[in-house]
Amino acid sequence: MNPRFGVFDRYGGRFVSELLAPALEALASAVDELLASPDFRRRLRRELRTWAGRPTPLTHVPRFSDRCRLDVHLKREDLLHGGAHKTNNVVGQALLAKELGKRRLIAETGAGQHGVATAMAGARQGLAVVVYMGAVDAARQRPNVDRMRLCGAEVRLVESGGATLKEAIDEALRDWVQSVDDTHYVLGTVCGPDPYPRFVAELQRVIGDEARAQILRATGSLPDAIAACVGGGSNSLGLFRAFLVDDVVIFGVEAAGRDTRTGGHGMTLQHGRPGLLHGARSYVLQGNDGQIGDTHSIAAGLDYPGVGPEHAMLHDRGRVRYVGANDAEALAAFDALTRDEGILPALESSHALAFAMNAVERGQLRAGQRLLVNLSGRGDKDLATVIGSRRP
Amino acid sequence: MSAGLLQQELRSRARHLSAFFVLGDPTPRISLDVMLAAVDAGATMLELGLPYNAPCADGPAIQAASRRALAAGTTTDVALELVAILRDARPELPLNLLVYANLVHSRGPREFCRDFATAGASSLLVPDVLLEEGEELRAICLDHGLDSVQLVGPRTPTPRLAAIDAACTGFLYLAALQGVTGSDPDHAGETQGAMQRLREVCANPICLGFGLRSVDDVARAFASGARIAVVGSELARTIGEASASGRDPRDAVAARCRALAVALTAS
């Protein structure tokens, strides 16, 4: 069942109901047209600069580097408006929704960052916003639920199944099939049916383009390696896309959760197999029959049984090395960066930092090598989880 | 064009009342009895869904049915056994499978189609594979004597309807509403318009489903030109309510089907 639309080798496609075919067709045409339009690119750049705060800085972190025995530089997407890279995608999609004449935005959210970004962009553009969020995620990312509501968004809690990101996407797709006339579905990651994976990756590529120029300016050369956490895979792909043809080792860090043997993790590429989930063929954590698997990660944004089809391609081609960091390692990395550098990373981003802390010891990098890590979001939303994890 | 016996089975009568069930709801054993009770009470065809835990085309009633079936241990192999038993019990009954793509993909499309064709399924509808993405799967269906049923929506453009009709060997399944199964049908005018366009450009029999609940809904479906009317969420709800309140779901479903079957003979 190889895909025909939006193909990344054997992955991608539009595996959705025929009832969504006209909407995806219209969306794909609009995406092609807008991405080729200098005027759209100009408006997007202006909005990212004047409203969202781009470019974000590149920060050298010497104390954290010593701890890692590496030379670590952080791309600071935590400083983007809203507190994570999600805003890059949402600004573009909100402009697209206006072009398409839509009046309402819907979104799914795991960690809440994509929901917050959509709520903010909706307020800014005068569009109504409904965000679907798993009830488990809403409980552990409470500040983000409040932020969405304060921006005027309606947050609908999803109670079914594991009540996390997978269920939120299920429910957003069900809303969209009914509301497609006046509603644009702002998918938050590089998953979903074509054209979402390529559109979202293109909108996130600004991370990598900036970071590549910044590190060249700061150090005079490309880094030896780059790393980012991978849930659905949008912050990582945004970084990776700018380095794919370079002589740079690329690491994608999946959530090893509690236990990789009993299924309490989100290591879709390392422990899943190809399947069809949420509109695309990609790697999927699933049972023998194809029932979608349960996942666990301390980071809501990585607690997902799927991954974008472009990552599946990069995995099969061997261009990106996918590795894991578990809950405890992520918490340790959160502490380390906070104490060493005064930067509170999101628990999702803490997985990429955990990789940095362990890479030399595990033989994945050599001492002294230069590593660029995407700090995809800030950790304010995670304080309850972090502080809770310290109680005896 | 037909790969298997479906068209012949369909020809046995002018109109079909198709009862949709999630295989294994509420348990594999009771599910079998419920389905046979539905047929004895007047359903002339069955649509059999494999339970799935990410059913994006389904509303709350069928999601709950899937959860019950999965909790009761309904695997693909169990579903296969249920189909085989049904086929033995009712050799002439059209049995249309409704299966989400990942369950087909996971078993391997070739193995899936072979196994279910052998068990006695008549046709296969995969609701989350678009026309363009389904070419390989339709060829495999044909190879194994399974007819392929294609879903279309009230807003599918007419040229696309014609293309889908050409690719279809079983029947065209028109969703009566732009939404998920079991929703309130609030675009009746749109459905009528789509039925008319289908009648003009399509050669395959037309089936209407999504949101049909009452004998009036079923009668209206037939009056608008549908050969097959599907009732699904209503029956899933009936099973759920009966199971929750300790009543026998067989009796409850049989009563619903007897009431719906009146539409088969109404003029």
CATH numbers and ranges of domains, chain B: 2-148+226-262 (3.20.20.70)
Which residues have CB under 8 Å from B163's CB, separation 6+?
Answer: B131
Cβ(A360)–Cβ(A71) below 8 Å: no
Which of A120-124, A252-256, B10-14, B55-59 has the lowest average pLDDT? Answer: B10-14
Taking 70 as the threshold, does the pLDDT of residue B186 lie above it?
no
A345-385 pLDDT tens trace: 999 999 999 999 999 999 999 999 999 999 999 999 999 99
Taking 80 as the threshold, does the pLDDT of residue B136 lie above it?
yes
Strands B206-209 and B172-175: parallel
Q: Does A5 touch chain B (CB under 8 A)?
A: yes
Taking 50 as the threshold, does the pLDDT of residue A255 lie above it?
yes
Taking 50 as the threshold, does the pLDDT of residue A324 lie above it?
yes
pLDDT at B1 (0 to 100): 46
Question: Which of A2, A274, A291 is closest, CB to CB, to B52?
Answer: A291
A45-82 pLDDT tens trace: 999 999 999 999 999 999 999 999 999 999 999 999 99
Taking 60 as the threshold, does the pLDDT of residue B2 lie above it?
no
Cβ(B173)–Cβ(B151) below 8 Å: yes
Strands A58-60 and A320-326: unpaired
CA-nearest of A145, A160, A83 to A115 is A145
* Contact assignment for A17 to B131 by CB distance below 8 Å: no
Give A143→chain B minimum CA distance, Å: 28
Residue B90 tokens, joined = 């009712």
Q: Does B56 touch chain A (CB under 8 A)?
A: yes
Higher pLDDT: B226 or B12? It is B226
pLDDT at A253 (0 to 100): 98
* Partners of A228 in beta bridges: A252
Model pTM score: 0.96
CA-nearest of A221, A182, A228, A186 to A205 is A228
Q: How many Å apart are CA B204 and CA B201, to the nearest integer?
A: 9
pLDDT at B190 (0 to 100): 85
Taking 90 as the threshold, does the pLDDT of residue B3 lie above it?
no
3-state helix, strand, coil in chain A (%, to 5): 45, 20, 30
Chain B residues in contact with A158 by the CB 8 A cut-off are none
Give A85→chain B minimum CA distance, Å: 28
- Identify whether B51 is preceded by a cis peptide bond (ω within 30 of 0): no
Contact pairs from chain A to chain B, CB under 8 Å: 119
**How many CB atoms within 10 Å of residue A325?**
28
Q: Where are the beta strands (DSSP E) in A167-263?
A: 183-185, 225-229, 249-259
- Which long-range contacts link A62-65 to residues 24+ away (Cβ below 8 Å)? A63/A340, A63/A341, A64/A336, A64/A337, A64/A340, A64/A341, A64/A353, A64/A356
Interface test with B, best of A291, A294, A295, A304 (most B CBs within 10 A): A291
Which residues have CB under 8 Å from B49's CB, separation 6+?
Answer: B20, B21, B22, B23, B62, B65, B66, B97, B98, B99, B232
Residue A392: band (very low, low, confident or very high) from pLDDT cuts 50, 70, 90: low
With both helix axes pointing from N to C terminus, report the angle between B76-89 and B109-119 in degrees, rounded to the nearest 10.
Answer: 30
Question: Which of A16, A18, A177 is closest, CB to CB, to B152?
Answer: A18
**Catalytic (active-site) positions of A:** 86, 108, 376
Q: How many Å apart are CA A13 and CA A19, to the nearest integer?
A: 16
Three-state secondary structure call for residue A78: helix
Q: How confident is the model over B15-31, as a mean pLDDT? A: 98
